[in-house]
C-alpha cells in the first residue's frame, strides 16, 4: 500500500465570513467524514508550517502579499465581490501554502509516496498580482515554483479538475516551458479564461492545455478528456512531479456549477492520475484542495481520491450515480484541443 500523506491544521478553520460558500464548514465536513470512515487512520500526517514572504514571492508580487497582510491587520474586508480577508486570513493563508510546501518536501524526500493537502483558502484563481475567486495565494503554483527553483525538479505537470478554470496557475506559467498546465472546466463560466486556443507563449507554447467542457458534462465526457487528452500530453511532457488542483465543484450536487460528474468519476480521474505518476515520476503526486461546495459530495470526493491513491477499490457513497440524462457532445471540443496540441497527428 502506498504511503499517502495528508496535511490539515485547525488554523484553516479561522478564515471565514458569514454566508460565504467557501466556509470553514467545507473542511470540517471533510475531516469529520475521514475520521468517521476510518480512512484518516490509514494516512500519514504531515505537519503544516507557515510559509514565508519569500515563499509567496516565488509567484506573487510583494505588493499583493503586502496588500493581503495589511487588509488582515485592518480587521479584514473584501478584495473583490467574491474574495474576502478576515483578521486571521493572512495567517491562515500562510499556513495553507506552508502545508502544501511541507507535503511537497515530504514527497520529494521520499518520506511519503504521495499526499493530499486539506487546506483552505483555495488558490488556483490567485494570479501573480491579484487575489480573486475566493483565493488569496496560489498554493499549487508556489509548490511548483519551489520545486523548480529550490529542489532541482526539472519538469512539473499541474492537472486541474476544478469546475472553474485555474486562471492564476495558467498566468503563472504561461511562458514557462518547465510547467505543463492541463485543465478541464465548465466553459463559458467564471473566470472566463481557459479557451482551447490558449496554449502558452514563446518557448512554452504547447505547455498549456485547456479542455473547455460544456455545461452538463458528466463522467463519460470527463473520462474521455482525461484519457484522450490529459494522458497523452502528460506522457509527452514526462514530468518529474505531478501536482493536482483538486476541486469537487463539478459534482452534480454542487450548487455553484452545472456539471454532472459523480464521485465514481472523481475516483476514475484520480486513478488515472495516480497511474501516470507511477509511470512517469516514481509515483510522486500531490493533490491540493480547491473548490467543492456541497458538504456531502465534497468529503466523498476527497474520500474517492484517497481510495485511488491508497490503491483501494471504489467505496460506494450515498449520492450514487449522476442523473440519467444524455450528455452533451464534446467531439468538436476534443477535436479542436487535439489539433491545437498536436495530438491529431498519430
Residue in 197, 213, 176 with CA at minimum distance from that of residue 338: 197
Does 111 reside within a domain? yes
Does 79 reside within a domain? yes
Torsion of CA 211, 212, 215, 220, to 10 degrees: -10
Q: Which domain holds residue 289?
A: 4-340
How wide is the angle at C-alpha 78 spanned by C-alphas 74 and 83, nearest 5°?
130
Torsion of CA 87, 93, 95, 100, to 10 degrees: 170
Give residue-wise pLDDT tens across range 109-127. 999 999 999 999 999 999 9
Q: What is the pLDDT of residue 344?
A: 80
Three-state secondary-structure class, residue 230: helix
Q: What is the pLDDT of residue 332?
A: 97
For the chain, the domain total comes to 1
Does 345 reside within a domain? no
The enclosing domain of 267 has a CATH number of 3.40.800.20
Q: What is the pLDDT of residue 327?
A: 86
Does 346 reside within a domain? no
DSSP character for 133?
A: T
Predicted TM-score (pTM) of this structure = 0.98
Q: What is the pLDDT of residue 345?
A: 64
Question: How many whole angstroms separate alpha carbon 101 and alpha carbon 115?
Answer: 11
Does 234 reside within a domain? yes
Enzyme catalytic residues: 125
10-residue block means of pLDDT along the chain (346 residues)? 95 97 98 98 98 98 98 96 98 98 98 98 98 98 98 98 98 98 98 98 98 98 98 98 98 98 98 98 98 98 98 97 92 97 80
Q: What is the pLDDT of residue 1?
A: 75
Does 118 reside within a domain? yes
Amino acid at each position: 500500500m502506498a504511503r499517502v500523506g495528508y496535511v490539515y491544521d485547525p488554523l484553516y478553520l479561522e478564515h471565514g465570513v458569514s454566508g460565504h460558500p467557501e466556509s470553514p464548514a467545507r473542511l470540517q465536513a471533510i475531516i469529520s467524514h475521514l475520521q468517521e470512515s476510518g480512512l484518516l487512520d490509514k494516512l500519514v500526517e504531515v505537519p503544516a508550517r507557515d510559509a514565508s514572504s519569500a515563499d509567496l514571492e516565488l509567484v506573487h508580487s510583494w505588493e499583493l502579499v503586502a496588500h493581503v497582510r495589511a487588509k488582515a491587520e485592518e480587521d479584514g474586508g473584501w478584495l473583490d465581490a467574491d474574495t474576502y480577508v478576515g483578521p486571521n486570513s493572512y495567517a491562515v493563508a500562510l499556513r495553507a501554502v506552508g502545508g502544501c510546501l511541507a507535503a511537497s518536501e515530504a514527497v520529494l524526500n521520499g518520506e511519503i509516496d504521495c499526499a493530499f493537502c486539506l487546506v483552505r483558502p483555495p488558490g488556483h484563481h490567485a494570479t501573480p498580482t491579484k487575489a480573486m475567486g475566493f483565493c488569496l495565494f496560489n498554493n499549487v503554483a508556489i509548490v511548483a515554483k519551489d520545486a523548480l527553483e529550490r529542489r532541482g525538479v526539472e519538469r512539473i505537470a499541474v492537472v486541474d479538475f476544478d469546475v472553474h478554470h485555474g486562471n492564476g496557475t495558467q498566468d503563472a506559467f504561461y511562458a514557462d516551458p518547465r510547467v505543463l498546465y492541463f485543465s478541464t472546466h465548465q466553459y463559458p463560466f467564471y473566470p472566463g479564461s481557459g479557451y482551447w486556443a490558449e496554449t502558452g507563449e514563446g518557448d512554452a507554447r504547447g505547455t498549456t492545455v485547456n479542455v473547455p467542457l460544456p455545461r452538463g458534462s458528466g463522467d463519460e465526457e470527463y473520462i474521455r478528456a482525461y484519457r484522450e487528452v490529459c494522458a497523452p500530453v502528460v506522457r509527452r511532457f514526462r514530468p518529474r512531479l505531478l501536482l493536482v488542483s483538486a476541486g469537487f465543484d463539478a459534482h452534480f450536487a454542487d450548487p455553484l456549477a452545472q456539471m454532472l460528474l459523480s464521485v465514481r468519476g472523481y475516483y476514475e480521474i484520480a486513478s488515472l492520475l495516480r497511474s501516470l505518476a507511477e509511470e512517469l515520476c516514481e509515483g510522486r503526486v500531490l493533490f491540493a484542495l480547491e473548490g467543492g461546495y456541497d458538504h456531502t459530495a465534497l468529503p466523498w470526493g476527497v474520500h474517492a481520491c484517497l481510495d485511488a491513491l491508497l490503491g483501494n477499490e471504489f467505496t460506494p457513497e450515498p449520492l450514487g450515480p449522476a442523473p440519467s440524462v444524455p450528455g452533451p457532445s464534446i467531439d468538436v471540443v476534443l477535436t479542436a484541443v487535439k489539433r491545437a496540441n498536436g495530438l491529431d497527428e498519430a
